[in-house]
Amino acid sequence: MEQKTVLVVDFEFTMPDGKYHPQNFFPEIIEAGVVKAADETIIDTFSSYVKPKKFPKLTKRCKSFLGITQEDVESGISFEEFIEKLVSLDGGENCEIITWGNMDMKVLKQNCMLNHIAFPFKGKLRDLAFEYKTFFGDRTLTGLRKAAKEYGSEGAGKHHKALDDAMTTYQLLTLFEKDRAYVENPQTTKIGELIDFSHFFDSAD
């Protein structure tokens, strides 16, 4: 049987300086982090800056919020090279693409469309933040690092660093899948685990 592969993906995007966007502004992927795993074992990781094309100059807000410099993105790979890398990591139709929230895939699809490049993934897309919200009955979506804290973890590395956030999402995925499997198929509890018989034996001595 073919093993199930997951690609946990996190992207960082360009952003405008304030609430007033430049004309025709759209977010472009400028940093990518990917964790590839099979059978709960990490088999590959990928991290790179990506050069923005339409709005190549980063805004002050973007640099400050993400801690990314203009030199970082200018040293990055082209969007075309980035998509080629994603295609090489993709595990085909049996591979699940995991993100925290739906923005990563929305922006990737938009960027591909605007660059006239085919979307690189063939497998099922999963928004782990939405699954987490639904499973725990939360009213709103939980941020990645807050969800990690709820599981007793600070997460991996630095927040808004793409590979660190992808690694944190992967950690949450493994914990969450165990919780969900337990709830859907709890182990049958034996009566001996519910009642302490030890005092009966003590009184019989």
Cβ count near 187 (within 10 Å): 7
Q: Which domains does the chain have, with CATH numbers?
A: 5-204 (3.30.420.10)
> Which residue in 96, 159, 160, 177 is the catalytic one?
160
In whole angstroms, give the CA distance from residue 27 to residue 187: 47
pLDDT at res. 204: 47
* Per-residue tokens: 21: 């966007």
pLDDT at res. 205: 47
Please calculate the CA angle 191-193-199 and round it to the nearest 5 degrees. 95
Which residue in 108, 100, 43 sits closest to 79, CA to CA? Answer: 108
Q: Are the beta carbons of 51 and 74 closer than 8 angstroms? A: yes
Per-residue DSSP letter, 87: H
In whole angstroms, give the CA distance from residue 71 to residue 5: 34
pLDDT at res. 158: 73
Annotated catalytic, 31?
no
Q: For the full predicted model, state whether its pTM sits above 0.75.
A: yes
Residue 136, φ and ψ in degrees, nearest 5: -90, 0
Cα-Cα-Cα-Cα dihedral sign, residues 159, 160, 164, 167? positive
- pLDDT tens digits, the chain, 205 residues: what are they? 456 899 999 999 999 987 666 778 899 999 999 999 998 899 999 999 999 999 999 999 999 999 999 999 999 999 999 999 999 999 888 999 999 999 999 999 999 999 999 999 999 999 999 999 998 888 888 899 899 888 887 777 777 799 999 999 999 999 988 888 777 766 655 555 555 555 554 544 4
Residue type at 111?
A: N
pLDDT at res. 91: 86
Annotated catalytic, 160?
yes
pLDDT at res. 183: 76
Which residue in 65, 113, 122 sits closest to 94, CA to CA? Answer: 122
